[in-house]
Amino acid sequence: MSTSRTLASLLTVAVLTVPALSGCSSDDSAKGGDGSTTTATTAAPGPDLADAEWSDQTADTAVTVQARDNIFVKPYIEVKAGTTVTFTNRGRNQHNVLAVPEDRFESIEADDLEPGSSQDVTFTAPGDYPYYCSLHGTATKGMVGAVRVVE
């Protein structure tokens, strides 16, 4: 009980911190037919991290995630706080790296990640940082990944 309560308030905070940036916050995704709250169905805003196979890169000071056509390699990495992760486009197509939620970290737009180029993101605070490529996936599936930052 208290767990879901905490989750709910966390979600509320998350929602409140993303005000009318895009103006689409009233997205009517609720489908529950009984009129109850649909908090549970929206609890995970990103890929299902419970099933992810994490690659332990906590011993590395330089970590690279490759964007290929059309997956991230390695998609789920665990790094130490303060690690700079280099996202590099090794595919022939454009890819982007969009944070979930969008203010979780600074997203990389496709124009800044042309084939052959790279962008660095430094992760300082412990936590999970899901992301996806909107050209080849959605926030929850397709070309998705996450960085797990540990102390």
* Closer residue to Cu ion (CB): 74 or 80: 74
The pair phi, psi for residue 16, each rounded to 5°, is -70, -30
Span near Cu ion by CB under 5 A; candidates 47-55, 65-73, 101-109, 116-124:
65-73
Q: Provide Rg for the chain, Cα atoms.
A: 16
Options 19-27, 53-61, 112-120, 140-148: segment touching Cu ion (CB under 5 A): 140-148
- Give the span between the Cα atoms of 133 and 103, in whole angstroms: 15
Element at 7 (helix H, strand E): helix 2-16
- Which CB, 77 or 113, lies closer to Cu ion? 113
Nearer to Cu ion, 95 or 104 (CB): 95
Per CB under 5 A, the segment of 26-34, 55-63, 105-113, 139-147 that binds Cu ion is: 139-147
Which span (16-24, 78-86, 106-114, 143-151) binds Cu ion, by CB under 5 A?
A: 143-151
Among 77, 100, 121, 133, binds Cu ion (CB under 5 A): 133
Long-range contacts of 69-73 (CB under 8 A, 24+ apart): 69/93, 69/136, 70/95, 70/133, 70/135, 70/136, 70/137, 70/142, 70/143, 71/143, 72/133, 72/143, 72/144, 72/145
Of 48, 66, 63, the residue nearest 138 (C-alpha) = 48
Minimum CB–partner distance for residue 141 and Cu ion (Å): 13
Q: Let me know how long the chain is.
A: 151
Q: Does 110 bind Cu ion (CB under 5 A)?
A: no
Using rule CB under 5 A, residue 136 touches Cu ion:
yes
Note the residues at the interface with Cu ion (CB under 5 A): 70, 95, 133, 135-136, 143
